[in-house]
Structure 1
Protein backbone atom coordinates (compact mmCIF):
# COMPACT_ATOMS: atom_id res chain seq x y z
CA UNK A 1 0.00 0.00 0.00
CA UNK A 2 1.20 3.48 -0.83
CA UNK A 3 1.54 5.65 2.27
CA UNK A 4 3.56 8.55 0.83
CA UNK A 5 3.26 10.33 -2.52
CA UNK A 6 6.19 12.61 -3.30
CA UNK A 7 6.11 15.19 -6.06
CA UNK A 8 9.52 16.18 -7.38
CA UNK A 9 10.13 19.76 -8.43
CA UNK A 10 11.92 22.99 -7.67
CA UNK A 11 10.58 25.37 -5.02
CA UNK A 12 9.80 29.02 -5.59
CA UNK A 13 7.76 31.17 -7.93
CA UNK A 14 10.54 31.29 -10.52
CA UNK A 15 10.17 27.54 -11.13
CA UNK A 16 6.49 26.75 -10.57
CA UNK A 17 5.53 26.89 -14.27
CA UNK A 18 8.48 24.77 -15.47
CA UNK A 19 8.12 21.27 -16.95
CA UNK A 20 10.46 19.97 -14.24
CA UNK A 21 7.72 20.70 -11.70
CA UNK A 22 5.22 18.18 -13.07
CA UNK A 23 5.60 16.15 -9.86
CA UNK A 24 4.65 19.19 -7.77
CA UNK A 25 1.67 19.81 -10.07
CA UNK A 26 0.45 16.27 -9.44
CA UNK A 27 0.54 16.38 -5.62
CA UNK A 28 -0.88 19.91 -5.61
CA UNK A 29 -3.76 18.66 -7.76
CA UNK A 30 -4.39 15.74 -5.36
CA UNK A 31 -4.37 18.07 -2.37
CA UNK A 32 -6.77 20.46 -4.09
CA UNK A 33 -9.17 17.67 -5.09
CA UNK A 34 -9.27 16.55 -1.46
CA UNK A 35 -9.45 20.02 0.17
CA UNK A 36 -6.07 19.53 1.78
CA UNK A 37 -3.41 22.23 2.25
CA UNK A 38 0.37 21.95 2.26
CA UNK A 39 2.24 23.23 5.29
CA UNK A 40 5.94 23.86 5.67
CA UNK A 41 7.76 21.13 7.60
CA UNK A 42 11.33 22.15 8.39
CA UNK A 43 12.17 18.73 9.88
CA UNK A 44 11.43 17.21 6.44
CA UNK A 45 12.96 20.05 4.40
CA UNK A 46 9.65 20.27 2.58
CA UNK A 47 5.96 20.92 2.54
CA UNK A 48 3.54 18.16 3.44
CA UNK A 49 -0.14 17.41 3.50
CA UNK A 50 -2.23 14.34 4.18
CA UNK A 51 -5.38 12.80 2.75
CA UNK A 52 -7.83 10.19 3.92
CA UNK A 53 -8.77 7.95 0.99
CA UNK A 54 -11.22 5.15 1.81
CA UNK A 55 -10.10 5.09 5.45
CA UNK A 56 -6.43 5.01 4.42
CA UNK A 57 -4.18 7.89 5.40
CA UNK A 58 -1.72 8.94 2.72
CA UNK A 59 0.86 11.70 3.00
CA UNK A 60 1.86 14.11 0.24
CA UNK A 61 5.34 15.65 0.19
CA UNK A 62 6.98 18.41 -1.86
CA UNK A 63 10.71 18.55 -1.03
CA UNK A 64 11.87 22.17 -0.89
CA UNK A 65 15.53 21.30 -1.43
CA UNK A 66 15.47 21.65 -5.24
CA UNK A 67 15.11 18.71 -7.58
CA UNK A 68 18.69 17.43 -7.47
CA UNK A 69 18.69 17.21 -3.64
CA UNK A 70 15.23 15.70 -3.05
CA UNK A 71 16.46 12.48 -1.44
CA UNK A 72 17.25 13.89 2.01
CA UNK A 73 13.76 15.29 2.42
CA UNK A 74 12.16 11.99 1.43
CA UNK A 75 14.48 9.94 3.63
CA UNK A 76 13.75 12.06 6.71
CA UNK A 77 9.99 11.74 6.06
CA UNK A 78 10.18 7.96 5.63
CA UNK A 79 12.27 7.58 8.78
CA UNK A 80 9.97 9.77 10.88
CA UNK A 81 6.79 7.94 9.86
CA UNK A 82 8.40 4.49 9.54
CA UNK A 83 7.41 4.18 5.86
CA UNK A 84 9.41 1.94 3.54
CA UNK A 85 10.56 2.90 0.02
CA UNK A 86 8.17 0.21 -1.31
CA UNK A 87 5.28 2.17 0.24
CA UNK A 88 6.32 5.33 -1.58
CA UNK A 89 5.23 6.77 -4.93
CA UNK A 90 7.59 9.34 -6.46
CA UNK A 91 5.99 11.49 -9.16
CA UNK A 92 8.27 13.18 -11.68
CA UNK A 93 8.59 14.60 -15.17
CA UNK A 94 9.74 12.12 -17.82
CA UNK A 95 11.60 13.10 -20.98
CA UNK A 96 11.26 9.60 -22.46
CA UNK A 97 7.45 9.76 -22.63
CA UNK A 98 5.38 11.89 -25.01
CA UNK A 99 3.45 14.81 -23.56
CA UNK A 100 0.16 13.58 -22.16
CA UNK A 101 1.34 10.03 -21.39
CA UNK A 102 1.68 8.85 -17.79
CA UNK A 103 3.22 5.53 -16.78
CA UNK A 104 3.45 3.74 -13.45
CA UNK A 105 6.30 1.40 -12.55
CA UNK A 106 8.20 -0.10 -9.65
CA UNK A 107 11.95 0.24 -9.46
CA UNK A 108 14.37 0.69 -12.32
CA UNK A 109 17.17 3.12 -12.99
CA UNK A 110 17.18 6.89 -12.88
CA UNK A 111 17.39 7.34 -16.66
CA UNK A 112 19.55 10.43 -16.23
CA UNK A 113 16.95 12.15 -14.01
CA UNK A 114 18.99 13.87 -11.30
CA UNK A 115 16.08 14.02 -8.87
CA UNK A 116 15.62 10.25 -9.07
CA UNK A 117 19.37 9.73 -8.85
CA UNK A 118 19.44 11.63 -5.55
CA UNK A 119 16.38 9.80 -4.19
CA UNK A 120 17.99 6.41 -4.95
CA UNK A 121 21.23 7.46 -3.33
CA UNK A 122 19.54 8.80 -0.18
CA UNK A 123 17.21 5.82 0.24
CA UNK A 124 19.79 3.23 -0.75
CA UNK A 125 17.05 1.64 -2.82
CA UNK A 126 15.50 1.64 -6.30
CA UNK A 127 12.41 -0.19 -5.02
CA UNK A 128 9.89 2.60 -4.89
CA UNK A 129 7.00 3.26 -7.23
CA UNK A 130 7.27 5.97 -9.84
CA UNK A 131 4.57 7.86 -11.65
CA UNK A 132 6.26 9.23 -14.76
CA UNK A 133 4.56 12.25 -16.34
CA UNK A 134 5.53 12.63 -19.99
CA UNK A 135 6.99 15.96 -21.05
CA UNK A 136 8.76 14.66 -24.19
CA UNK A 137 12.41 15.09 -25.12
CA UNK A 138 13.51 18.30 -26.85
CA UNK A 139 15.52 16.26 -29.38
CA UNK A 140 19.06 17.05 -28.30
CA UNK A 141 20.65 16.26 -24.94
CA UNK A 142 22.30 19.71 -25.06
CA UNK A 143 18.82 21.29 -24.87
CA UNK A 144 17.48 19.25 -21.94
CA UNK A 145 18.36 21.65 -19.08
CA UNK A 146 16.81 24.68 -20.79
CA UNK A 147 13.83 22.60 -21.85
CA UNK A 148 12.91 21.24 -18.41
CA UNK A 149 13.52 24.65 -16.81
CA UNK A 150 10.99 26.37 -19.04
CA UNK A 151 7.22 26.37 -19.25
CA UNK A 152 5.44 24.07 -21.70
CA UNK A 153 3.36 25.54 -24.51
CA UNK A 154 -0.36 26.00 -23.85
CA UNK A 155 -1.24 22.82 -25.74
CA UNK A 156 1.47 20.84 -23.91
CA UNK A 157 0.29 22.18 -20.55
CA UNK A 158 -3.27 21.19 -21.40
CA UNK A 159 -2.13 17.63 -22.25
CA UNK A 160 -0.02 17.40 -19.07
CA UNK A 161 -2.91 18.61 -16.91
CA UNK A 162 -5.21 16.09 -18.59
CA UNK A 163 -2.71 13.30 -17.87
CA UNK A 164 -2.44 14.42 -14.24
CA UNK A 165 -6.21 14.34 -13.94
CA UNK A 166 -6.31 10.81 -15.42
CA UNK A 167 -3.53 9.63 -13.10
CA UNK A 168 -5.24 11.15 -10.04
CA UNK A 169 -8.07 8.67 -10.54
CA UNK A 170 -5.82 5.68 -9.79
CA UNK A 171 -4.46 6.98 -6.49
CA UNK A 172 -7.14 5.25 -4.41
CA UNK A 173 -6.17 1.94 -6.05
CA UNK A 174 -2.50 2.54 -5.19
CA UNK A 175 -3.29 3.47 -1.61
CA UNK A 176 -5.12 0.20 -1.08
CA UNK A 177 -2.35 -1.80 -2.81
CA UNK A 178 -4.13 -2.67 -6.07
CA UNK A 179 -1.11 -1.98 -8.29
CA UNK A 180 -2.02 -4.29 -11.17
CA UNK A 181 -5.49 -2.78 -11.36
CA UNK A 182 -4.03 0.75 -11.19
CA UNK A 183 -1.54 0.01 -13.98
CA UNK A 184 -4.25 -1.51 -16.15
CA UNK A 185 -6.54 1.50 -15.59
CA UNK A 186 -3.76 3.99 -16.34
CA UNK A 187 -2.10 2.24 -19.28
CA UNK A 188 -5.19 1.24 -21.26
Structure 2
Protein backbone atom coordinates (compact mmCIF):
# COMPACT_ATOMS: atom_id res chain seq x y z
CA UNK A 1 0.00 0.00 0.00
CA UNK A 2 1.22 3.46 -0.88
CA UNK A 3 -0.18 6.27 1.24
CA UNK A 4 0.40 9.83 0.12
CA UNK A 5 -0.83 12.61 2.36
CA UNK A 6 -1.31 16.04 0.82
CA UNK A 7 -2.34 19.01 2.94
CA UNK A 8 -4.65 21.16 0.85
CA UNK A 9 -7.63 23.37 1.35
CA UNK A 10 -11.13 22.06 0.70
CA UNK A 11 -11.32 23.43 -2.85
CA UNK A 12 -8.06 21.77 -3.82
CA UNK A 13 -9.14 18.42 -2.34
CA UNK A 14 -12.36 18.55 -4.36
CA UNK A 15 -10.37 19.32 -7.53
CA UNK A 16 -7.98 16.41 -6.86
CA UNK A 17 -10.91 14.01 -6.44
CA UNK A 18 -12.65 15.21 -9.59
CA UNK A 19 -9.43 14.74 -11.58
CA UNK A 20 -8.97 11.24 -10.11
CA UNK A 21 -5.70 12.44 -8.51
CA UNK A 22 -6.83 11.21 -5.07
CA UNK A 23 -8.80 8.26 -3.78
CA UNK A 24 -10.20 9.77 -0.60
CA UNK A 25 -10.37 13.27 0.78
CA UNK A 26 -10.96 14.63 4.25
CA UNK A 27 -12.43 18.12 4.18
CA UNK A 28 -13.69 20.74 6.56
CA UNK A 29 -17.44 21.09 6.25
CA UNK A 30 -19.77 19.40 3.85
CA UNK A 31 -19.08 18.62 0.24
CA UNK A 32 -21.18 20.77 -2.08
CA UNK A 33 -19.91 19.11 -5.27
CA UNK A 34 -22.73 16.95 -6.65
CA UNK A 35 -20.35 14.71 -8.64
CA UNK A 36 -18.77 13.42 -5.42
CA UNK A 37 -20.05 11.31 -2.55
CA UNK A 38 -19.42 12.09 1.10
CA UNK A 39 -20.05 11.01 4.66
CA UNK A 40 -19.84 13.01 7.83
CA UNK A 41 -16.68 11.91 9.64
CA UNK A 42 -16.49 13.86 12.91
CA UNK A 43 -17.44 17.11 14.60
CA UNK A 44 -15.11 19.93 15.54
CA UNK A 45 -15.23 23.31 17.25
CA UNK A 46 -13.45 26.43 16.03
CA UNK A 47 -12.22 28.90 18.65
CA UNK A 48 -11.12 32.51 18.46
CA UNK A 49 -7.67 32.89 19.98
CA UNK A 50 -5.20 35.65 20.72
CA UNK A 51 -1.91 36.17 22.48
CA UNK A 52 -2.17 36.68 26.27
CA UNK A 53 -0.54 40.08 25.67
CA UNK A 54 -3.14 41.19 23.11
CA UNK A 55 -5.27 44.15 24.31
CA UNK A 56 -8.48 42.09 23.91
CA UNK A 57 -7.16 39.11 25.90
CA UNK A 58 -8.60 40.43 29.17
CA UNK A 59 -12.09 40.90 27.77
CA UNK A 60 -14.61 38.30 28.90
CA UNK A 61 -16.59 38.44 25.65
CA UNK A 62 -15.89 40.06 22.28
CA UNK A 63 -18.66 42.26 20.92
CA UNK A 64 -19.35 43.10 17.29
CA UNK A 65 -17.20 46.24 17.48
CA UNK A 66 -14.24 44.18 18.74
CA UNK A 67 -14.74 41.57 16.01
CA UNK A 68 -14.87 44.20 13.27
CA UNK A 69 -11.94 46.30 14.49
CA UNK A 70 -9.49 43.52 15.34
CA UNK A 71 -6.77 42.51 12.88
CA UNK A 72 -7.24 38.87 11.85
CA UNK A 73 -4.79 36.15 10.84
CA UNK A 74 -6.86 33.70 8.78
CA UNK A 75 -6.66 30.74 6.46
CA UNK A 76 -6.65 31.47 2.74
CA UNK A 77 -9.78 31.75 0.60
CA UNK A 78 -10.96 28.26 -0.34
CA UNK A 79 -10.28 26.92 3.14
CA UNK A 80 -13.22 25.31 4.94
CA UNK A 81 -12.10 26.94 8.19
CA UNK A 82 -12.20 30.37 6.54
CA UNK A 83 -15.60 29.65 4.96
CA UNK A 84 -17.18 28.69 8.29
CA UNK A 85 -15.60 31.61 10.13
CA UNK A 86 -16.73 34.16 7.54
CA UNK A 87 -20.25 32.73 7.39
CA UNK A 88 -20.52 33.19 11.17
CA UNK A 89 -18.84 36.57 11.56
CA UNK A 90 -20.22 38.42 8.54
CA UNK A 91 -23.66 38.44 10.19
CA UNK A 92 -22.08 40.59 12.92
CA UNK A 93 -19.57 42.83 11.15
CA UNK A 94 -19.67 44.66 7.85
CA UNK A 95 -16.03 44.11 6.96
CA UNK A 96 -13.17 42.05 8.37
CA UNK A 97 -9.72 43.51 8.97
CA UNK A 98 -7.65 40.66 7.51
CA UNK A 99 -4.00 41.35 8.30
CA UNK A 100 -2.60 38.04 7.01
CA UNK A 101 -3.80 35.01 5.06
CA UNK A 102 -1.79 31.84 5.69
CA UNK A 103 -2.30 28.31 4.40
CA UNK A 104 -1.10 26.40 7.47
CA UNK A 105 -2.62 26.24 10.95
CA UNK A 106 0.83 26.23 12.57
CA UNK A 107 1.80 29.46 10.79
CA UNK A 108 -1.42 31.10 11.98
CA UNK A 109 -0.78 29.94 15.56
CA UNK A 110 2.73 31.38 15.54
CA UNK A 111 1.54 34.72 14.11
CA UNK A 112 -1.19 34.94 16.76
CA UNK A 113 1.24 33.97 19.56
CA UNK A 114 3.50 36.78 18.30
CA UNK A 115 0.62 39.21 18.84
CA UNK A 116 -0.05 40.04 15.19
CA UNK A 117 -3.82 39.60 15.49
CA UNK A 118 -6.67 37.27 16.35
CA UNK A 119 -7.07 33.84 14.81
CA UNK A 120 -9.86 31.32 14.39
CA UNK A 121 -8.66 27.72 14.51
CA UNK A 122 -9.80 24.26 15.50
CA UNK A 123 -9.80 23.72 19.24
CA UNK A 124 -8.00 20.44 18.56
CA UNK A 125 -5.11 22.32 16.94
CA UNK A 126 -4.62 24.84 19.76
CA UNK A 127 -5.39 22.84 22.91
CA UNK A 128 -1.69 22.52 23.82
CA UNK A 129 -1.05 26.25 23.40
CA UNK A 130 -4.14 27.06 25.48
CA UNK A 131 -3.01 24.71 28.27
CA UNK A 132 0.50 26.24 28.27
CA UNK A 133 -0.88 29.79 28.33
CA UNK A 134 0.62 30.69 24.94
CA UNK A 135 -2.85 31.47 23.58
CA UNK A 136 -6.11 32.67 25.12
CA UNK A 137 -9.52 31.47 23.90
CA UNK A 138 -12.07 34.24 23.51
CA UNK A 139 -15.87 34.13 23.78
CA UNK A 140 -17.75 35.78 20.94
CA UNK A 141 -21.24 34.37 20.61
CA UNK A 142 -20.42 33.17 17.08
CA UNK A 143 -21.57 29.71 16.01
CA UNK A 144 -18.26 28.07 15.12
CA UNK A 145 -19.02 24.36 15.17
CA UNK A 146 -18.29 22.36 12.05
CA UNK A 147 -17.98 18.87 10.69
CA UNK A 148 -15.29 17.05 8.80
CA UNK A 149 -16.34 14.89 5.87
CA UNK A 150 -14.85 11.96 4.00
CA UNK A 151 -15.22 12.55 0.26
CA UNK A 152 -14.61 10.34 -2.78
CA UNK A 153 -15.47 10.04 -6.45
CA UNK A 154 -18.16 7.38 -7.03
CA UNK A 155 -16.59 6.31 -10.33
CA UNK A 156 -13.21 5.60 -8.74
CA UNK A 157 -12.51 2.00 -7.77
CA UNK A 158 -12.72 1.42 -4.01
CA UNK A 159 -10.47 -1.51 -3.15
CA UNK A 160 -10.79 -3.60 0.01
CA UNK A 161 -7.79 -1.65 1.33
CA UNK A 162 -9.61 1.63 0.62
CA UNK A 163 -12.66 0.31 2.49
CA UNK A 164 -10.49 -0.79 5.43
CA UNK A 165 -8.77 2.61 5.62
CA UNK A 166 -12.13 4.38 5.60
CA UNK A 167 -13.41 2.12 8.40
CA UNK A 168 -10.20 2.79 10.35
CA UNK A 169 -10.72 6.56 10.04
CA UNK A 170 -14.31 6.34 11.22
CA UNK A 171 -13.60 3.98 14.11
CA UNK A 172 -10.52 5.81 15.33
CA UNK A 173 -11.66 9.42 15.04
CA UNK A 174 -15.19 9.67 13.82
CA UNK A 175 -18.62 8.25 14.37
CA UNK A 176 -20.92 6.03 12.37
CA UNK A 177 -21.75 8.20 9.38
CA UNK A 178 -24.86 8.32 7.29
CA UNK A 179 -24.06 7.12 3.76
CA UNK A 180 -24.73 9.11 0.63
CA UNK A 181 -24.48 12.70 -0.47
CA UNK A 182 -24.96 15.39 2.13
Shared fold per TM-score greater than 0.5: no
> TM-score, with normalisation over the residues of structure 2?
0.26
Higher-Rg member (1/2): 2
TM-score (norm 1): 0.25
> Which one has the bigger helix percentage?
1
